Amino acid sequence: MTAATGRTAALEALLQAEQGKARKLEIIFGVWWRHYAVPYEFRWTLFAERQHCPYCGALLESPADGSDTAFGDTHLDHMDALSLGGEDSIRNTVYVCAPCNMAKGRRSFVDWLRQLSPEHSALARKIYIDKHGHPPEEFTRSAKSQRLTLPRIELQYNEAVLRHLFPKPIVDGPPG
């Protein structure tokens, strides 16, 4: 087995583990699971979405060995900033280059789109709509959201146990 094959196998294993977490969250939260999926539990799934910064086109760094270490100059961006009430969820996050994340800061996504080139603004808008199901202009500011850094304890159980514990989803909509 070559080093490249080993890296590919390691990355595939990480992605499969995250797919298992997604199935478990769907048992618990139903169709709304993406609203409750903490981005730090889905690092490789989010990274696999694209290898270039959607805001400028720069190549994003990842650990070459597939380890769960820091992503170097690649940052997780909350499209709707937590400080403006954006969710700490996989549907509100993308990986971007460090300079773009620092430049965006706590701006609203609509304001940030105006700063981008037309090409990258169009791409970022499309990604936002695909993830949120609505254009960024429909985002409503609210109280600051908490960053959710602890893993969900329910994810330690297997799917059969979760189906028994949660015969129906525990929510009937996104977070309030």
Can you spell out the DSSP letters for 111-141? Answer: HHHHHS-HHHHHHHHHHHHHHHSS-GGG---
Exposed, middle or buried: residue 27 (CB in 10 Å: 0-12, 13-18, 19+)? buried
Task: Report the pLDDT averaged over residues 43-49.
Answer: 91
Determine the pLDDT at residue 175. Answer: 82
* pLDDT at residue 8 greater than cutoff 80: no
- Does residue 83 sit within a domain? yes
- Does residue 173 sit within a domain? no
Dig out the tokens for 100 from the structure.
Answer: 């773009």
Cα atoms in the 13 Å half-sphere on the side-chain side of 32: 14
Domain span including residue 24: 3-165
Determine the pLDDT at residue 57. Answer: 96
Residues 6 or more apart from 69 whose CB is under 8 A from it?
Answer: 63
Residue 63: pLDDT band with limits 50, 70, 90:
low
- Give me the number of domains the chain comprises: 1
Contact 113, 125 (CB under 8 A): yes
Beta strand extents in the chain (DSSP E only):
74-78, 93-97
Which range is least confidently modeled, 12-16, 69-73, 161-165? 69-73
pLDDT tens digits along 138-162:
999 999 888 877 778 899 999 999 9
Determine the pLDDT at residue 70. Answer: 52
The amino acid that residue 67 corresponds to is: S
pLDDT tens digits along 79-107:
999 999 999 999 999 999 999 999 999 99
* pLDDT at residue 2 greater than cutoff 90: no
- The residue with greater pLDDT, 118 or 10, is 118
- Does residue 61 sit within a domain? yes
Contact 26, 38 (CB under 8 A): no
* pLDDT at residue 65 greater than cutoff 50: no
Q: What's the whole-number average pLDDT of the chain?
A: 89
- Does residue 174 sit within a domain? no
- Does residue 79 sit within a domain? yes
SS3 state of residue 173: coil
* pLDDT at residue 113 greater than cutoff 70: yes
Share of the chain above pLDDT 70, in %: 90
CA distances from 151 to 25, 38, 49, 101, 148 (A): 12, 8, 22, 24, 8
Rounded to whole angstroms, the Cα distance separating 79 from 110 reads 10
* pLDDT at residue 73 greater than cutoff 80: yes
Task: Report the pLDDT averaged over residues 23-38.
Answer: 95
- Does residue 172 sit within a domain? no
- Does residue 107 sit within a domain? yes
- Does residue 110 sit within a domain? yes
